[in-house]
Structure 1
Amino acid sequence: MAFLRKLLMFFAIVIGILFVVSFFLPKEASINRSVVIKASSAQVFDYLNKAKNFNEWSPWFEMEPEGKYEFSGPEIGIGGKLAWEGEKTGKGTQEIIESNPYQNIRSELIFDGQPPAYAAYDLEPLNDGTKVTWSFKVDLNGPIDKYMGLMIDSFVGDMYEAGLKNLKAKVESLPKQAELAIQVDSIEHKPELVTVDAQALLYVSNKVDFDADKISQAMAQDYAKLIGFMAEKQLNFAGPPLAITTGGSPEEGFWAFEAAMPIDIPAEVDDASEIKFKQSYSGKAVKLVHIGSYMSMSASYEKLAKYVADNGLEMNGNVWEQYISDPGVTAEKDLITHLYFPVK
C-alpha cells in the first residue's frame, strides 16, 4: 500500500507540474509551409479564390475521396464554403472570409465541436512565379490543447507540404497567362447579353483630361483612397475594381468617372466624405471581354455599340469597366478587362 500511495503521489505531482507549466505555454498554435509556383499571382489567386477548387489539390480529399463533400455560397471569393464529413477526416466546414485580390485569402475552419481555426494563403510575386505561403492558426484554450499545440507541426506539416506540391502541379498545368488571354480572346471576345446582379460599391467621383498618364495617376490615387478606407473600416473586397463612366469622351477632351470597389457588406460613410456608397446596376447588360492595353479599347467599345444597335436594344445607364487582371504582374498585351453596356 505504501508503494501505491507513493506512486499515486508521484503521478499527482507530475500532473500538477504539467498543469502549472501549461500556463506558460503558447496560447495559439500555428504552422506554415511555402512553395514557388511558376504562374502569376493573378492566376494563383483566381484559382485559390474558388472554394470548389480545394478538393482538386487537397491532401485530405486525396486521403478520403469517398467522404461526403458539399460546396455552397458564391462560386468566387468571400462566402464560398466547403463542408465535409468522413471516417478519416471527421466533420467540419471551411469558408472564405477574406479575399484581397492577388495578395491573400483567409478562411475560417470549424471542426466538429471545436472553436474556429483559420487558414490563409499569402501570395508574393517573384520574377519566376509566385511564392505561396499556406498557414494555419488556432487558439488553444485548455492545458491539453496547449500540449497538443506543441506537436501541430508533426501532426499536419507533412499534409501541408503534400498539399502545396499538389497545388503547384495543378496550377502549373493550367494555361499560362498569355495562353489564357488567347483562349479568352478566341472564345469570349464577342459581345453577349448577360444579367448582372447588384453589388455593394464604395466609389470616388473624378474628372480628368483624356490623357493616359493623367487617367492612370487619378485612378491610382482614387483606388488608394478606397483601399485605405476599407482597411480603416475593416471591409472586405468582393470582386475586382471597376470604373463607371459618367461623362466625357476623347473628342470632348475629358473623362468623368467613378472609381469603384465591390465590398462584401453595405458601408456607412460620412455625407461630407468624398468616398460614397451605393448599390451597383442590376439587370440586363451587353458584356465584352477586352484583351490588351487600357488605351486600346476603342474597337471593343465600337463592337458593343454596334451590337446594341443591331439588336434594337436601348441603353439603360452608364457603361462600366471591370479590371480582371492585375497590371502589376500581367503584361499590357495580356490584360483582361470586362466591358459592360447596361440595356433595357
Structure 2
Amino acid sequence: MLKKMAIGTAAILLFFVVVGWLLPSEFKVVRTIRIEAPADIIFKHVKDLKKWQHWGVWFERDPDMQVAYAGPDSSVGMKSTWQSESQGNGEMEIVAIEENQRFIYTLVFPDMGVGSTGELTLRDKEGETVVIWHDYGDVGANPLLHYVAFFMDRMIGEDLQMGLENLKVIAEAEFQQKQ
C-alpha cells in the first residue's frame, strides 16, 4: 500500500513538472485607463518613485513598508528598495524616460528570484490621456516558476488596475485645482 502511494505521489509530481515545462516562461500583464488630465500632470506622479507611495496599492496594503531611495530623483538610475512582510522585498530602478510619454523600470524580487520590466505609456486622446501599464518578463527554465508566469495576470493584474485608478483620482483632482 505504501509503495502504491509513493508511486502515485511521484507520478503526480512528475505530471506537474512536465506540465510546468510545457507552460511558457514569459508573461505579460497589461492594464489601461483614461484620465481626464494632461500627460504632464500624470507623468510627474509616475516618474518620481517617491510619489508612487500615494497611488501604488502595495503601499496601501502595508503602511509600515520600509522604503529607501537612491540615485537622481525622477531620472534614469533612480532606485527604490523596500522591505515588507506582507508585500515582499524588492527593488525598482528607472531605466528609461521619454518625458510625458513613456516610463520604463526594472523590478526585482530577490527572495523569490523573479523580476520583470514595467512600462507606463501615456497617449493624448481627445482631451484625455490614455495610460497603459505593461509588466512583462521571463521566469527562466524552472518549470515550477512557469506556473507563476502562467498565473501572473491573475496575480498582479488587479494591482496594476487599482494603481491606475488611484493615479487617475490624484491626477484629475490636481488638474481640477489648476483650472
Question: Is TM (by shorter chain) over 0.5?
Answer: yes
1:91-102 to 2 correspondences below 5 Å: 91-102=89-100
Give the whole-Å Cα distance in 2 for the aligned partners of 1:168 and 1:175. 10
Q: CA deviation at 1:105?
A: 0.6
Q: Is the 8 A contact 1:90 1:112 kept in 2?
A: no
Q: Does 1:90 find its partner at 2:88?
A: yes
What letter corresponds to residue 156 of structure 2 in structure 1? Answer: V
Q: TM-score, normalised by structure 2?
A: 0.89
Residue by residue over 1:19-63, the C-alpha shift from the partner in whole angstroms, topping out at 9 and shown as x without a partner, is 222222111122121111111223222331112111110100001
Q: Does 1:50 find its partner at 2:48?
A: yes
Q: Does 1:60 find its partner at 2:62?
A: no
Q: CA deviation at 1:7?
A: 2.2
Q: Is the 8 A contact 1:107 1:119 kept in 2?
A: yes
Name which structure has the greater RCO, CA cutoff 8 Å, separation 6+. 2
Match of 1:6?
Answer: 4
Identity %: 27
* CA distance 1:45–1:158, shift in 2 (3 Å): same
Q: Does 1:160 find its partner at 2:156?
A: no
Give the whole-Å Cα distance in 2 for the aligned partners of 1:21 and 1:88. 30
* CA distance 1:176–1:99, shift in 2 (3 Å): farther
Which 5+ residue runs of structure 1 have no aligned equivalent? 181-344
What letter corresponds to residue 116 of structure 2 in structure 1? Answer: A
User: What value does the CA root-mean-square deviation take over the aligned residues?
Assistant: 1.9
Paired residue total: 177
Match of 1:79?
Answer: 77
Which 5+ residue runs of structure 2 have no aligned equivalent? none
Q: CA deviation at 1:175?
A: 3.4
Match of 2:127?
Answer: 128
Greater radius of gyration (CA): 1
Q: CA deviation at 1:121?
A: 0.4
Q: CA deviation at 1:129?
A: 0.7
Give the whole-Å Cα distance in 1 for the aligned partners of 2:148 and 2:109. 16
Q: TM-score, normalised by structure 1?
A: 0.48
What letter corresponds to residue 15 of structure 1 in structure 2? Answer: L
Name the structure where helix makes up a greater proportion of residues. Answer: 2
Q: Does 1:117 find its partner at 2:103?
A: no
